Amino acid sequence: MKTQQIDVSATIEEATRLLEKETEISPALRSIFKLLIMLVKVFADRNSLNSRNSSKPPSSDPNREKKKKPGGQKGHTGKTLFRIDDPDEVEEIKIDRRTLPKGQYKDMGYEARQVFDVIVSRNVTEYRVQILQDQDGTRFVAPFPKGITRPAQYGTNTKVNAVYMSQYQLIPYERIISKAKWIFR
């Protein structure tokens, strides 16, 4: 293995061979040198890991050849969010004239930016079925729409979103139920 044009393996082998030849070193000092050689091996091995000889991703290779520049490539048709003509809300932000230097100013219009956001809100539909009673006292009740079986229940969209959150977003069932109870209280 080579690190910055230094053959680390050959250098370690040479140091180990010289250490074995040396007879006038105390056993404690010999142990320290062996420990230092082992640490150099460990650090050199760790430093030489790349995407070809380990499970590291190619992006972590220090001198990798970058084939593409970051961002959209030439010829790629970009996609962006476009402004709309009729926003739901318009919030005007005025300049605090107290922060301006003294003088006369004329209004030159405005600069606008739009923020698109999704607002989740509760929508409760109450179904009222007509009840008729004939002269004999017999009551006739119009049928509720299919699936409306309880005095209060979650709608189809809520159920679909709960399934989506639990199956595709992997949010625990108890967390979904507690959020639904909080939204619909």
Secondary structure letter of residue 43 according to DSSP:
H
Whether residue 129 contacts residue 144, with contact meaning beta carbons closer than 8 Å, is answered with yes
Query: What pLDDT, on the 0 to 100 scale, is given for residue 70?
Result: 79
Query: What pLDDT, on the 0 to 100 scale, is given for residue 144?
Result: 92
Mean pLDDT split into 10-residue runs, the chain, 185 residues: 70 84 85 86 74 78 75 82 89 88 89 83 87 90 91 85 84 80 67
Query: What pLDDT, on the 0 to 100 scale, is given for residue 130?
Result: 92
Whether residue 127 contacts residue 148, with contact meaning beta carbons closer than 8 Å, is answered with yes
Q: Is 70 exposed, middle or buried (0-12, 13-18, 19+ CB in 10 A)?
A: exposed
Query: What pLDDT, on the 0 to 100 scale, is given for residue 3?
Result: 59
* Residues in CB range of 92: below 8 A, 6 or more apart: 110
> pLDDT for 151-185, tens place per residue?
988 888 888 888 888 888 888 888 877 777 766 66
Q: Is the pTM of this model over 0.75?
A: no
Q: Give the pair of three-digit tokens for residue 142.
A: 């119009």
CA atoms within 13 A on the CB side of 8: 16
Query: What pLDDT, on the 0 to 100 scale, is given for residue 66?
Result: 73
Query: What pLDDT, on the 0 to 100 scale, is given for residue 1?
Result: 57
